[in-house]
């Protein structure tokens, strides 16, 4: 499929994990890809991989929690690759901390990257979409923004915030721009999941609690993001698409209960 031929897609946090898979998915479907990431080296690697699809790609080292940095990066990508048709707001961080153990610094950094960063990037990109009469924004939330989990206080609060930001943007930017979110469950093999992936007990419990009986992959999320950015999703806006293998739908009752 070449659903995005001639389009320009901007992916934040595109240097690794889900963001890289998203960037490569759009490149494989014909798009030019702008990769914004705090880690310049990883962003450059994504650009190299995208080039194997024969697509133009450009990396800019950016901290999404810094609005001036975001504005400059959006200008640079638009100048290099053309006006942005699709924004995938994906950059995020996570500290696994219980509420009472979370420091001021961890709380504030999580908010400024995961939530304020998504606001800055949307605010920087949407005006050019409005001026051109169309565009798609996909926000990467999390199932942690929908269910309670231990050790996810700051993270879950920001992810719930991104889902509400999605709805507000959809209302204000419609009918010109469709704004939707994906809410991934356990996606193995990313930077954020390094410690989880190593912990067999956690992995087995997660997989055992997931109706499809496997961990998700970055490519699973990329497929859902590409769908939401495609014309097939033109009547969908303000929605959150769970990409969690059914984890949050499932409540297994232990054997032996009546
Ligand atoms: P990852 O660590 O592999 O990728 C995150 C990327 O964001 C990295 O390349 C990192 O350098 C970049 N980044 C971090 N802070 C940044 C900043 N301030 N400015 C710009 N870039 C920054 O993690 P991932 O698992 O691929 O996470 C991507 C998104 O998916 C995050 O928003 C995360 O919350 C969400 N998510 C992941 C999972 C999962 O299980 N992996 C589940 C639900 C949601």
73 DSSP β-pair partners: none
Q: Which of 11, 12, 19 to mutate to test the pocket of ligand 1 (most atoms within 8 A of CB)?
A: 19
Q: Does the Cβ of 14 fall within 6 Å of ligand 1?
A: no
Q: Does the Cβ of 163 fall within 6 Å of ligand 1?
A: no
The Cα 96–Cα 53 span in angstroms is 36
Q: Which of 18, 94, 115, 120 to mutate to test the pocket of ligand 1 (most atoms within 8 A of CB)?
A: 18
Burial class (CB in 10 A: 0-12, 13-18, 19+), 231: exposed
Q: Which of 124, 192, 207, 220 to mutate to test the pocket of ligand 1 (most atoms within 8 A of CB)?
A: 192
Nearest-CA residue for ligand 1 atom 41 is 187
What pLDDT sits at residue 206? 94
What pLDDT sits at residue 250? 84
Query: What are the phi and psi torsion angles at 97 (to 5°)?
Result: -145, 140
Annotated catalytic residue: which of 16, 120, 155, 186? 155
Q: What is the residue extent of each domain of the chain?
A: 8-242
Ligand 1 centroid–CA 213 distance in Å is: 23
Annotation marks residue 155 as catalytic:
yes
Query: Are the C-beta atoms of 11 and 90 separated by less than 8 Å?
Result: yes
- Kindly give the confidence (pLDDT) of every residue in the chain, 258 residues in length, as a single tens digit, with 9 standing for 90 and above: 899 999 999 999 999 999 999 999 999 999 999 999 999 999 999 999 999 988 899 999 999 999 999 999 999 999 999 999 999 999 999 999 999 999 999 999 999 999 999 999 999 999 999 999 999 999 999 999 999 999 999 999 999 999 999 999 999 999 999 999 999 999 999 999 999 999 999 999 999 999 999 999 999 999 999 999 999 999 999 999 999 999 999 876 666 777
Which fold would CATH assign to domain 8-242?
Rossmann fold (3.40.50)
What pTM does this model have?
Answer: 0.97
Q: Does the Cβ of 65 fall within 6 Å of ligand 1?
A: yes
Q: Does the Cβ of 46 fall within 6 Å of ligand 1?
A: no
Q: Does the Cβ of 240 fall within 6 Å of ligand 1?
A: no
The Cα 16–Cα 188 span in angstroms is 12
Contacts of 134 (CB under 8 A, 6+ apart): 85, 176, 177
CA angle 203, 208, 209 (to 5 degrees): 100
Ligand 1 centroid–CA 162 distance in Å is: 14
What pLDDT sits at residue 253? 66
Nearest ligand 1 atom, CA 186: 40
For residue 201, CA distances in Å to 41, 194, 206, 228 come to 33, 14, 9, 34
Query: What are the phi and psi torsion angles at 230 (to 5°)?
Result: -95, 170
Q: 148-187, pLDDT tens digit by residue?
A: 999 999 999 999 999 999 999 999 999 999 999 999 999 9
Q: Does the Cβ of 124 fall within 6 Å of ligand 1?
A: no
The Cα 116–Cα 161 span in angstroms is 10
């Amino acid at each position: 499929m070449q659903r995005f031929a001639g389009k320009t897609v901007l992916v934040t946090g595109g240097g690794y994990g889900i963001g890289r898979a998203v960037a490569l998915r759009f490149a494989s479907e014909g798009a030019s890809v702008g990769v914004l990431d705090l880690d310049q080296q990883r962003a450059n690697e994504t650009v190299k991989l995208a080039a194997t699809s024969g697509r133009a790609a450009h990396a800019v080292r950016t901290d999404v929690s810094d609005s001036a940095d975001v504005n400059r990066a959006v200008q640079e990508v638009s100048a290099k690759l053309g006006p942005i048709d699709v924004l995938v707001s994906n950059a995020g961080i996570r500290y696994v901390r219980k509420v009472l153990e979370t420091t001021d610094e961890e709380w504030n950094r999580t908010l400024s990257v995961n939530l304020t960063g998504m606001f800055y990037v949307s605010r920087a990109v949407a005006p050019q979409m409005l001026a051109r009469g169309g565009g798609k924004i996909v926000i990467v939330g999390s199932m942690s923004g929908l269910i309670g989990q231990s050790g996810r206080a700051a993270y879950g609060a920001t992810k719930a915030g991104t889902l509400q930001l999605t709805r507000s943007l959809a209302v204000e930017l419609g009918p010109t721009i469709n704004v939707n979110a994906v809410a991934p469950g356990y996606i193995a093999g990313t930077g954020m999941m390094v410690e989880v992936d190593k912990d067999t007990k956690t992995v087995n419990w997660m997989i055992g609690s997931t109706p499809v009986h496997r961990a998700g992959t970055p490519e699973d999320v990329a497929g859902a993001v590409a769908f939401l950015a495609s014309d097939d999703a033109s009547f969908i806006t303000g929605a959150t698409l769970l990409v969690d293998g059914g984890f949050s739908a499932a409540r297994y009752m232990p054997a032996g209960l009546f």
